[in-house]
Amino acid sequence: MPKSENFWDKRAKKYAERPIKDVQSYNQTMARTKAHLSKDDSVLEIGCGTGSTALLLAGSVQHISVRDTSGTMIDIANFKAKDQKIGNTTFARGSVFDDALGEQSFNVVMAFNLLHLLEDMPSAIRRVNALLKPGGLFISKTVCMAGQSWVWPIALPIMQFLRLAPFVRFLTTDELEGIITNEGFEIIETGNYPASPPSHFIVARKT
Ligand SMILES: C[S@@+](CC[C@H](N)C(=O)[O-])C[C@H]1O[C@@H](n2cnc3c(N)ncnc32)[C@H](O)[C@@H]1O
């Protein structure tokens, strides 16, 4: 399997050029996310890709710190932030475990299309919990592929062997909710945008 950073570095330019696949689902996700954001919020986004979502949401909050393990994704995101003259975002290469991120310093942590790619998902969610202020929100959307098709469980290992796919965890929506709840969260909102395969949107409050 390719190292995650190398895999995403190689795909960053194409990822940036690719139009959003399902605009309606993306808009629903953004609308539901914005409903939980406030102008004085300090926000962290992990696994930002080329930064489009952080830049879109920047006007709804005080500041967004952003991390992605791919340096090429971060370079593109920084270019876009400068080009769009958006000054309240800080993009840096790294993960949720970056020591520069202070515990209990964020009102909201966001992770879109990331959790199923993490080999250390429970410990990453535990770290999200530690980074949030008391009562802070973890907002995520994660594709849940378990039981959806017989094709992917066969095709994915072959693609991984050929270095055409990264690590992917096959989750059900219930499993995902269970892992988040186990790490010290109460789920306050869910949705599927789109419904099939479920791209599971979860808003969870730190308990
Ligand atoms: C499927 S893309 C999603 C990008 C963006 N959030 C979106 O919804 O379009 C996954 C991103 O997560 C990044 N990534 C992978 N593993 C990561 C990790 N452990 N920590 C932070 N970012 C990671 C990849 O570099 C890639 O940019």
Query: Tokens 């980074």 sit at which residue?
Result: 131
Residue 150: per-residue pLDDT:
87
DSSP string across 16-39: HHSPPS-HHHHHHHHHHHHTT--T
Task: Write the CATH number for 119.
Answer: 3.40.50.150
Angle at 17 between CA 169 and CA 71, to 5 degrees: 60
User: Which residue type occupies 54?
Assistant: A
Please give the distance, rounded to the nearest whole angstrom, from the Cα atom of residue 48 to the centre of ligand 1. 6
Of 202, 199, 207, give the one whose Cα is nearest residue 36.
202
Q: Which atom of ligand 1 is nearest to the CA of 96?
A: 20
Residue 48 CA: nearest ligand 1 atom is 6
pLDDT of residue 149: 84
* Separation of CA 75 and ligand 1 centre (Å): 14
Nearest CA to ligand 1 atom 12: 47
Q: How many domains does the chain have?
A: 1
**Confidence (pLDDT) at 33:** 98
Give residue 15's domain range.
4-206
Question: Which positions ≥6 away from 138 have C-beta within 8 Å?
Answer: 108, 109, 110, 111, 125, 128, 129, 132, 180, 185, 202, 203, 204, 205, 206
Residue 10 confidence (pLDDT): 93
Query: For atom 14 of ligand 1, which residue has the closest CA?
Result: 47
All residues at 6 or more sequence positions from 6 whose CB lies less than 8 Å from its CB, including other chains:
none
Calculate how far, in angstroms, residue 25's C-alpha sits from the geometric centre of ligand 1.
18
Mean pLDDT per 10-residue segment, the chain (207 residues): 78 92 97 98 98 98 98 97 97 97 98 97 98 98 91 91 92 98 98 96 98
Which pLDDT does position 1 carry in this prediction? 43
Ligand 1 proximity of 4 Cβ (cutoff 6 Å): yes
pLDDT score, position 148: 83
